[in-house]
Amino acid sequence: MNGLGGLNKSSGGLVIGLVQQQLPQVVTPSDLRDQTIKVSRLVGKARRNLSTMDLVVFPEYSLHGLSMDMNPEIMCRIDGPEVAILQTACSDNKIWGCFSIMEFNPLGNPYNTGLIIDDKGKLKLHYRKLHPWVPVEPWEPGNLGIPVCEGPNGSKLALVICHDGMFPEMARECAYKGANVMLRTAGYTAPIRHSWRLTNQANAFCNLMITASVCLSGSDGTFDSMGEGMIVNFDGTSIVEGGGRPDEIITSEVRPDLADEARLNWGVENNIYQFGHRGYVAVKGGANDCPYTFMKDMVAGKYLLPWEEGIVHKDGGAYGFPKPNRLFINEETDRKGD
């Protein structure tokens, strides 16, 4: 399946490169431009590194670093110069790319945003992180749902960001919307290493979906990101794992077509199908009810844990952020209601 890191590409193969990018320090607009140019050059490095590569994936915070600085002068816009540079890098090098920006939000805190750009420089996917890593991160919760796009070589791509991948419901939503490859970009530091590995594997196995995940790497003088690029097959088997060397590109071939085949032909452990068709041996078509209280409560807007009253951290005060007073607006829900 690995094809020697993608050197030997099969006809149904998708070759992915994960850039364990050096953790940057970005303070000024000039820093932001310089860092964007560095990322664009790494796109070129990826293409030179492996001529068979279809998709290069950069970590979360690859343009902004881990400072959590919300200075509007270093926030990006979808139609801004930073995204244009990344689009040009993809078209010039004829490669798909996955990138991270902090997106300006005129109505509140910035969004932590992920983008997928095709090999012609066209924006194919725009995602805003649904689950910021609270209470550490100040970003506005995402309001565009989880989009899925057609990718190269039979892939259907979804993107989640860092903490998103700790929620099994996120990976399930990606798969339910058709993704056979889920990308996960992150800035995680070493204490998350164990959780990173097991969730990358569980997200793949539970959904018969390939996962490709990568963190920033190295130190900015304060934080130490872990690298740990990791590609997992749809059966939960790790295909390739990187270490912590900054700017190393971890590569592998994966087979989206085989993930699609497994979803059709597997009986035992076809969990994403069986989740909505409980006990189909006993009852025709399986039970298709919703026996899960937490799902019903969330839809009704009354999600409440039995221990919720005693929870200590319910805002960002522990990390110096003021208590918010704005309510959340979900653009995806609002659009559906139009």
Annotation marks residue 60 as catalytic: yes
| Composition of the chain by helix, strand, coil, percent to 5 | 30, 25, 45
Is the pLDDT at 334 greater than 90, yes or no? Answer: no
| 30 in a structural domain | yes
155-196 pLDDT, tens digit per residue, is 999 999 999 999 999 999 999 999 999 999 999 998 999 999
**Residues composing the chain:** 338
* Structural domain harbouring 41: 3-274
Q: Do residues 154 and 12 lie in contact, with contact meaning Cβ atoms separated by under 8 Å? A: yes
Tokens of 322: 């003021």
Q: Which of 75, 89, 87 is nearest to 116 (CA)?
A: 87
Number of compact structural domains in the chain? 1
Contacts of 305 (CB under 8 A, 6+ apart): 311
| 226 in a structural domain | yes
| 323 in a structural domain | no
Residue 48: is it exposed, middle or buried by C-beta count within 10 angstroms (0-12/13-18/19+)? exposed
Q: Compute the C-alpha angle 186/132/207, nearest 5°.
A: 65
What's the pLDDT band for 1 if we cut at 50, 70, 90? low
Q: In the β-sheet with 230-232, what is the strand arrangement from edge to edge?
A: 148-150, 156-161, 181-186, 210-215, 230-232, 238-241
Say which of 82, 103, 129, 174 is annotated catalytic. Answer: 129
Please give the pLDDT value at position 330: 77
Q: Residue 131: how many CB atoms within 10 A of its CB?
A: 20
The predicted model scores a pTM of 0.96
- CATH number, position 183: 3.60.110.10
| 21 in a structural domain | yes
Annotation marks residue 302 as catalytic: no
| 243 in a structural domain | yes
| 317 in a structural domain | no
Say which of 162, 174, 228, 253 is annotated catalytic. Answer: 162
Say which of 9, 60, 149, 215 is annotated catalytic. Answer: 60
The whole-chain average pLDDT of the chain stands at: 95
272-301 pLDDT, tens digit per residue, is 999 999 999 999 999 999 999 999 999 999
- Biggest CA-to-CA distance, the chain: 65
231-278 pLDDT, tens digit per residue, is 999 999 999 999 999 999 999 999 999 999 999 999 999 999 999 999
Please provide the distance, in angstroms rounded to a whole number, between the alpha carbons at the two ends of the chain: 46
Task: Give mean pLDDT, residues 9-37.
Answer: 97
| 316 in a structural domain | no
Annotation marks residue 129 as catalytic: yes
Place of tokens 């320090």: 25
Tokens of 25: 């320090």
| 296 in a structural domain | no
What's the pLDDT band for 331 if we cut at 50, 70, 90? low
Helices 168-176 and 193-207 cross at an angle (nearest 10°) of: 30
Please give the pLDDT value at position 338: 47
